[in-house]
Amino acid sequence: MLGEMGAKQPLLLHTGFPPADSPGIRAVLDLCASVLSASWLELVVSRDGDRETTTYKRGTVGEERVSLALKLDDAITATLSFGGGTDPSPGFLRSLSAILVVALDCHRLRNQTTILRAALDSTSSSVLLFGRRGDIVYANPPADRLLSLQTEDELLVEAEGEPRQPLFTVLARVVERVASSSEKKSAWRGTLQSLDGRALACEVTRLPPVSSLPDTVLVLLQPVGSEPTVRIDAFCSTHNLSPREREVVKLLIEGLTTLAMAERLGISPHTVRDHLKNLYRKTGTSSRSELLGLASRTLPAATAIQD
């Protein structure tokens, strides 16, 4: 299957035809039965010379039939068979072919969107899409976590010669510059160093224009490191943290959830919560945001590298 990926199907893979009980195809057969006054219908859709075939039926298939070939695209053909009806006009057959192409495309794109969404949701990178007005139109789970930190003013960066600013203020400025560039291919790459100790490799790219979304910009943020270990050690030493509590602080700074911490450390989520409670007690904080804020104020400020 992978070897067949090419110009005809450039996105992912063949996702198959709709199932035999597909409501969309059933509606198409109902329409055909009404127009043709047919007592039964059978639609057989094939890809690449019967290599992949799905049959759809309406009513009880009889022996006497009229069969008509439909050409849907270079790789897909269909045969419509029916009984007890009238011969369709050429215009009806053209319309039927167009309707089937749309139905199959909708099924394929829906499946591919589901696969892509699952892939984006599982990556550790933060993925965001900005629309033409600079608004965020999509954010995967890691990006949602960054947005949550941003609303609490926990994710601040410093640009050279500029005051401390929220990460998304910096991103919005870069997105606007990339979107308004006169260059055919516009992009920006750099490293953002946040005050909570994390380093983020940042790539901002203007996507090829689409009629409905002419100025879409893709932003990728990938954790690539953190403040030097000695700085985290100093924070942990100041508050007399145990080796395991130090590990939890490091993972907390990286933005991991309780479940992700448990998986990384090989312990239960309940044990992680116990460590967090101990951290709150030792540092005089009462929540993750307060703990991160304290760490941010303790760790020396870094700068965001601009182009």
> What pLDDT is stored for residue 30 in this prediction?
93
Asked whether the CA dihedral 235, 231, 193, 138 is positive or negative, the reply is: negative
> What pLDDT is stored for residue 1 in this prediction?
33
> What pLDDT is stored for residue 112 in this prediction?
83
Query: 189 and 100 share a domain?
Result: no
* Short-list 216, 253, 201, 220, CA closest to 143: 220
Query: 277 and 187 share a domain?
Result: yes
- Which of 121, 151, 168 terminates a domain? The answer is 121
Rounded CA-CA distance 98/101 in Å is: 5
What's the domain count of the chain?
A: 2
Query: 32 and 43 share a domain?
Result: yes
Q: Name the E strands within the chain.
A: 40-47, 52-58, 66-71, 76-83, 126-130, 136-139, 156-158, 164-166, 187-193, 198-206, 217-226
> What pLDDT is stored for residue 12 in this prediction?
53
* Coil/strand/helix, residue 1: coil
**Nearest 10 degrees: CA dihedral of 160, 217, 255, 233?**
-30
Rounded CA-CA distance 262/258 in Å is: 6
Q: Which domain holds residue 181?
A: 123-298
- Which of 93, 121, 149 terminates a domain? The answer is 121
To the nearest whole number, what is the mean pLDDT of the chain?
80
Query: 70 and 151 share a domain?
Result: no
The residue among 118 and 42 whose pLDDT is bigger is 42
Query: 128 and 95 share a domain?
Result: no
The domain that holds 188 is classified in CATH as 1.10.10.10
The domain that holds 99 is classified in CATH as 3.30.450
The residue among 148 and 106 whose pLDDT is bigger is 106
> What pLDDT is stored for residue 33 in this prediction?
92
- Helices (H) and strands (E) counted in the chain, each on its own, are 9, 11
Query: 162 and 148 share a domain?
Result: yes
The residue among 128 and 208 whose pLDDT is bigger is 128
Query: 150 and 197 share a domain?
Result: yes
Split at pLDDT 50, 70, 90, the class of 9 is very low
> What pLDDT is stored for residue 97 in this prediction?
92
Rounded CA-CA distance 251/31 in Å is: 58
Residue 254, H or E segment: helix 243-254
Examine residue 304 and state whether it is found in any structural domain, yes or no.
no
Query: 79 and 222 share a domain?
Result: no
Query: 78 and 142 share a domain?
Result: no
Instruction: For residues 5-9, give the mean pLDDT.
Output: 41
Q: Is 182 exposed, middle or buried (0-12, 13-18, 19+ CB in 10 A)?
A: exposed
Rounded CA-CA distance 172/157 in Å is: 13
Rg of the chain over all Cα atoms, to the nearest angstrom:
28
Query: 284 and 181 share a domain?
Result: yes
Per-residue model confidence as pLDDT tens digits over 63-104: 888 899 988 887 888 999 999 888 888 899 999 999 999 998
Per-residue model confidence as pLDDT tens digits over 171-205: 888 888 888 887 777 888 877 766 655 677 888 99
Per-residue model confidence as pLDDT tens digits over 222-252: 876 555 565 677 778 788 889 899 889 888 8
Q: What residues pair up with 76 in beta bridges, in sequence order?
A: 47
Query: 42 and 98 share a domain?
Result: yes
Amino acid occupying residue 178: V
Q: CA neighbours within 13 Å on the CB side: how many for 138?
A: 13
Examine residue 282 and state whether it is found in any structural domain, yes or no.
yes
Examine residue 179 and state whether it is found in any structural domain, yes or no.
yes
Rounded CA-CA distance 144/300 in Å is: 26
Per-residue model confidence as pLDDT tens digits over 142-170: 888 888 777 655 677 755 555 677 888 88
Examine residue 303 and state whether it is found in any structural domain, yes or no.
no
- Which of 96, 121, 146 terminates a domain? The answer is 121
Examine residue 305 and state whether it is found in any structural domain, yes or no.
no
> What pLDDT is stored for residue 47 in this prediction?
83
Rounded CA-CA distance 210/207 in Å is: 9
Measured CA to CA in angstroms, residue 53 lies from 20, 44, 76, 79, 290 at distances of 11, 7, 10, 11, 59
Examine residue 78 and state whether it is found in any structural domain, yes or no.
yes
The residue among 293 and 300 whose pLDDT is bigger is 293
Give yes or no for residue 120 having a pLDDT over 70: yes
Examine residue 266 and state whether it is found in any structural domain, yes or no.
yes
Query: 38 and 72 share a domain?
Result: yes
